[in-house]
Structure 1
Amino acid sequence: MSTSTSPASPSEETGQLPHRRLPFWVALAMSVALVGPTLAMSGNGQGLIATVGKAIPLVFLIGLVGVSLVGYSFVRLTRHLNHAGSAYGLVGGTIGPRAGFFSGFAMLGAYVGFSIGTLALTAAFTNAFIAQLQPSNPDPYQVPWLLVVVVGAAISFLLSGRDIRLLAKILLVIEGIGIVSMVALVVVIFAKGGAPTTGIDFSVFTFDGVSSSAVISGVVAAFLSWAGFEACASMGEETDDPGRNIPRALAGTLLLTGVLFVVVMFAQVIGFGTDAAGLEAFQGSGNTLGDLGSTYVGQWFSLLIIFTATVAAFGCHLATSATSGRMLYAFGRDGFGPKALAHIHEGTGGPRFATWLVVGVALVVDLLCGAFRWPDMGTGNPAIDTYFLFAVAGSVCLMVCYLLVELAAAWFVGAPKFVRVHGGGGKVLGLALPLLGAVVIAVILWFNVKDATEWTAAPLLGLYWCAVGLVIALAASGIAKRVGASLSAELAATE
């Protein structure tokens, strides 16, 4: 969406993001970094062993289909609409401002949750790296995880809100090293034929020994791994030729990570072995890529992998904080939040105050979790427990947001008033694929909340956040009317 029109609540304190200056690679780097391939492949498979066993690659293959349907809807919308609020602007400009705010609030909850979780996971991976430096010590020295969190937050405060080009370069280098390392490890595992006991076992792509309902419920972990692929959509107002470059960045991120995730998960499962002993080793691993690197290559490679995963976890924290800051900026600019959130720092051209707020929340929440020794997710590691709680809760928020984006894409294609914007082409696919995606997401959400027994269960925490957003959206009728006029004007400016 163009931002040539005035915001809903103009103010001297409200700034404007620099327009149309960032190249394609910056948008791609933000999405890839927020997905965090090294982080996802190091820590998102272990929790699936208990429910799906060796069928983890099948879960990721199905997850790729589901997330691709969501990706199609984002691509379809961002060809014509671009807004710093990402889903907030896309849904708000099509279905309406209340739905837009609700989707944006859900996405904000997801990214803030990921910011909290990845800051904690940075501490967990830091200690895993320190332990790997002491291979002969049965009780290796570990740094208090909250100390690592405080240091990480301090660095994040220094980097947050700075020129997005600098952040993108840092993130691109981090993930570049991680991806190359993963590919090298995969090649070695395949070359050595996998684990000696089970070899290369293609039955991991079947329902052999696992129920279809278990596989479907496990797909949420796959969505967690791809969470953030749409981060570049929040940079639509800052990217050069956004109608072309944002869809390219979305498609490029999904293509790169889609192939990578399925292949790497396949390699990891056969690397540990598909028998009971191999799956037990997979489940108990603190960093699967690091352990496999030590087994198949050597300790030096394991150190490289764990170090890269640690830095990637912190890079993901930076990316989620930056994206959350841009969403808060959009809320503040359009009247759905304090005007201070819409302040743009002159020196950096970014919403520094809004980003600092996200980092501050992440720090405080992690400190509270450590102080109260909560949550207990059964891993035995409080930092990883904190990560899993907020990662799963954030994933539920994100799927609620994705559901609304799917409906918005179908509405955008089907509603007569938008024909002048998109020209009316590709109507059948433009309706069928988003609606199919909406059904897939609804099924996955149901399977993940239906068995929750405690009110503090992670999926329910995500739904609580979304419920708060729904109440605010319904109550803010006056603001919604003004924001609706603003979004309509921005949409008209794209003609």
Structure 2
Amino acid sequence: METRLRKNGLSYIESMGLSVAIMAPTAAMALNGSLAAGTVGVSVPLTYLLAMITIGLVSYAFVTFNKYYSSSGSVYAFTGAALGPKMGFLSGWTLLLTYLAFTGASVAEIGVFLQSFLAFLGVSISWFPLAVVGLVLVGILTFLDVRVSARVMVIFEGISVALILILAVVILGRGGSSGHLSPLPFSLGGNKMSSIGLGTVFAFLSFAGFEAASSLGEETANPRRAIPLSIMTAVFVTGVFYIVVSYAQSVGFGLDAGGIKAFAGSGAPLGDLAGKFMSSGFAAAIMFGATMSAFSSALGSATAGSRLLYAMGRDGLIHPALGRVHNRFRSPWVALGVVVAVSFITIAVLATQSGVSVFGYLGTIGVLALLLAYLVTNVGAIYHFAKAKVWRGGFLIIPVIAILGLGYTLYSNVFPVPPMPYTLFPYIVILWILIGLAIVLASPQMVRTISERLRQESNVNVSSTSSQLES
């Protein structure tokens, strides 16, 4: 029985492709801006600016961890090395919820965008069967050699991003709906900071998954250089893209009350703007590009989630079968099957809801879990790298500010109490963590196994990290 992933020699571009695919910049701009507009009105670009700054600070810990640890476990391995196997498992377990939720949310997006694309062709069909077909294709591609899915993700996302940039240039060149540009979208626009914090969740959703390249640590060539570079590129290049495009969307719909209402109520803002500023044919192309982007996001989420679950199964979580890989393709096929099955069950249960609502529900659950995983990772990084004297003086302020930003965003999603069903989502995340805690307490042997695995995977230890840097 094979239990090792193949060292595929993935390139920097291919590893970056996984992070960018899960972030899915095209799909993010095709829907997340409207969701944010419903909360913050005119200030959507401001939420993306704040989110980019916060995620940039958060990414510093991931970049540093990836310089010293190369593991398919990602956060699971990083936090385990820093705070011990129990916390490592719990943070990985929390991140697993994110990838499961994001896979379901992304296939729902596939259904929504493909439904809009087919509508341009005069075909009417529900989002759910389209999402199921997308999920099947995601499962097949993820099952194959990871190089295949990595290249598909890069190509799909590249094409769709190019289409959106063309639309943004046209909108900005015409001065938006009013004929002139305004700095208003970068102001509070009458919002309270608590509202900005709540709206920022949808901006965070656009960045969520930037760390996914970490899960390819065992399959990438020169991972200690390629993966940190992949993460930094994914965060800041897509961040600038988000700010520019969200601004173009805001001024494209208009900054008055009618424009804000139209933006917030649009289920396909890019398609609507393409039809308004260009043509129905280009609008159809944009929606097909958004479909490809959502597909890339689902592919990336399933890839990262299956590898995280594989790493846990290999270390004795629930059942060792999760740690098996296919003899030919060397993909974690059992763990992948679980990810696909959970995603199908989730969207099937919510099939009576609109695809946009399903995306919003699952995406919010995933982001809340992700924020917790990011927070714990940064706490672990402070402890680990300060102890090893890798981070000194001013460098420590970076993860501290990141923790404060993450904490405020989490707080904004609990108080003031959001409307139903969003009120329930923090409790779902808490319940998931309690289940993980029960697994840890019931499996002391698993904790010992994880500890041993982390010792084997840690190519440098705490005492040698500082000396390695200085050399």
* Match status 1:332 vs 2:313: yes
Paired residue type of 2:275: S
* Partner of residue 22 from structure 2, selected from 20, 24, 34: 34
Query: Does 1:435 pair with 2:423?
Result: no
1:26-425 to structure 2, matched below 5 A, reads 26-134=14-122, 141-196=123-178, 199-370=180-351, 373=352, 382-415=354-387, 419=388, 424-425=389-390
State the alpha-carbon separation in 2 of the partners of residues 485 and 468 from structure 1.
23
TM-score, normalised to structure 1, is 0.89
CA distance in 1, matches of 2:407, 2:95: 16
CA contact 1:329–1:351 (8 Å) conserved in 2: yes
Deviations 1:12-53 (A, max 9, x none): x35111236222111011111111000000100112223211
1:115, 1:316 within 8 Å by CA — same for their partners in 2? yes
CA distance in 1, matches of 2:460, 2:50: 39
Aligned residues: 460
Kept in 1, the 8 Å contact 2:37–2:44? The answer is: yes
> For residues 223 and 387 of structure 1, do their structure 2 counterparts lie closer, same or farther at Cα, with a shift above 3 Å needed?
same
What is the SS of the residue equivalent to 2:335?
helix
Q: Give, in angstroms, the shift of residue 425 of structure 1.
A: 4.2
Moved more, 82-91 or 485-494: 485-494
Inter-partner Cα distance in structure 1 for 2:42 and 2:323: 48
For residue 487 of structure 1, report the CA deviation from its aligned partner. 0.7
- Structure 1 or 2: more helix by fraction: 2
What is the CA-CA distance between 1:160 and the residue it aligns to? Answer: 2.2
Distance 1:467 1:363 in 2: 24
Structure 1 residue 58 displacement after superposition? 0.7
Change in Cα spacing, 1:447 to 1:122, as seen in structure 2 (3 Å) is same
- Does the 8 Å contact 2:52/2:236 carry over to 1? no
Contact (CA 8 Å) 1:44, 1:225: kept in 2 or not? yes
1:397-450: CA deviations, max 9, x gaps? 1001001111111012122xxx3xxxx344224422112211211111011023
- For 1:156, give the aligned amino acid: V
Which moved further from structure 2: 208-217 or 440-449? 208-217
SS of 1:252's equivalent in the other structure is: helix
Q: CA 1:221–1:150 in structure 2 vs 1: closer, same or farther (change >3 Å)?
A: closer
- Aligned amino acid, residue 65 of structure 1: I
Q: How does 1:480-491 map to 2 (within 5 A)?
A: 480-491=447-458
SS in structure 2 of the partner of residue 111 of structure 1:
helix
Q: 1:28 to 1:258 in 2, by over 3 A?
A: same
On the 8 A contact 2:36/2:203 being kept in 1, the answer is no
1:454 Cα offset (Å): 5.3
Kindly provide the amino acid, as one letter, of the partner of residue 106 in structure 1.
T
Aligned to 2:210, the other structure's residue is in SS state: coil
Q: Distance in 2 between matches of 1:466 and 1:323?
A: 19
Q: Would the alpha carbon gap of residues 433 and 475 (structure 1) be closer, same or farther in structure 2, given more than 3 Å must change? A: farther
Partner of 2:434: 467
Paired with 2:409 and 2:75, the residues of 1 have a C-alpha distance of: 20
- In structure 1, distance between residues paired with 2:440 and 2:177: 53
Could you list the per-position Cα deviations for residues 62-107 of structure 1 after superposition, in whole angstroms to 9, with x for gaps in the alignment? 1111111111110011111121011000101111111111110111
Residue type matched to 1:363 in 2? F
- For structure 2, the residue ranges without an aligned partner over 5 or more in a row are 465-471
- Percent identical among aligned pairs is 32
Looking at structure 2, the residues matched to 50 and 145 of structure 1 have their Cα atoms a distance apart, in angstroms, of 22
1:166 shift after superposition: 0.9
In the alignment, residue 394 of structure 1 is paired with which amino acid?
Answer: G
Which range is displaced more, 215-224 or 429-438? 429-438
Aligned-residue offset at 1:322:
1.0
Distance 2:96 2:162 in 1: 31
Structure 1 residue 196, shift from structure 2 partner: 2.2
Q: Deviations over 1:104-162 (max 9, x none)?
A: 0111100100111111121111111122224xxxxxx5213332133223222322221
Partner residue, 1:378: none
State how far apart, in whole Å, the 2-side matches of 1:157 and 1:208 are. 43
Q: Which amino acid aligns with 1:400?
A: L
- Structure 2 distance, partners of 1:252, 1:164, is 21
Paired with 2:449 and 2:55, the residues of 1 have a C-alpha distance of 33
Q: For 1:55 and 1:124, locate their aligned partners in 2 and report how far apart those are by CA, in whole Å.
A: 25
State whether residues 43 and 288 of structure 1, in contact with CA within 8 Å, keep that contact through their aligned partners in structure 2.
yes
Which of 44-53 and 29-38 deviates more?
44-53
Letter in 2 for 1:395: V
Give secondary structure in 2 for the equivalent of 1:230. helix
| Correspondence for 1:445 | 410
Deviation at 1:253, TM superposition (A): 0.4
